Amino acid sequence: MTSAAQKKKGQGREHQFINAQGSEVKTRDEAFATQRDVSTEALQVTAKMKLNNGALTFEMDVNYNPNTYPHVVTGGRITSGICGAPWDITGGSIGPSLRLTARRPGGSGNCAQTITIIGQFQVPLSYRGTYGFNGQTSSFNHTTQFLC
């Protein structure tokens, strides 16, 4: 096909614009306009993480907003390895450092009520740091890894 034929064939459409949801729109402004109908699911993804301290392992599903950095932790659960599991992850951040806070649902018992996990990024993709219970942050050492 000659360049003249290619030009004639493509005359009807010079540019194609796609918005953030993947839908075709008519103008560049529409493509880059702030989307108002973004669901809460679009603002949250889940990472599977595992905290190891040598003697025990906590399995975690951490929900965070991928559109922020450091990523804002929006919730999740510590699903096993900790007294009274599952625990509700109540907040934190994931970036050059890790900070997770969680609360044990329910009331009394022999278990702590809260946990705070902190760490610094290291290669391979993991965080090395400490965690503690009921307001403490440095009682126990850990390495927390992302699971694939």
- Is there a domain that residue 128 lies in? yes
pLDDT of residue 11: 53
- Is there a domain that residue 72 lies in? yes
pLDDT of residue 41: 56
Question: For the whole prediction, is pTM greater than 0.75?
Answer: no
Whole-angstrom Cα Rg for the chain: 23
DSSP result, 37-66: ---GGGG-EEEEEEEE-SS-EEEEEEEEET
Rounded CA-CA distance 82/85 in Å is 6
pLDDT per residue, tens digit, the chain (148 aa), is 454 544 445 455 577 877 666 677 888 787 777 655 555 556 889 999 999 998 899 999 999 999 889 999 999 999 999 998 999 999 999 999 999 999 998 866 788 999 999 999 999 899 999 999 999 999 999 999 999 6
CB of 95 within 8 A of CB of 75? Answer: no
- Is there a domain that residue 1 lies in? no
Strands of 6-113, DSSP E: 17-18, 24-25, 45-52, 57-65, 71-80, 87-94, 97-103
Domain that holds residue 58: 40-146
Secondary structure class of 135 (helix, strand, coil) = coil
- Is there a domain that residue 9 lies in? no
pLDDT of residue 62: 98
Q: What share of the chain is helix, strand, coil (3-state, %, to 5)?
A: 10, 45, 40
What type of residue is 48? K
- Is there a domain that residue 3 lies in? no
- Is there a domain that residue 109 lies in? yes
- Is there a domain that residue 33 lies in? no
Domain count, the chain: 1
- Is there a domain that residue 22 lies in? no
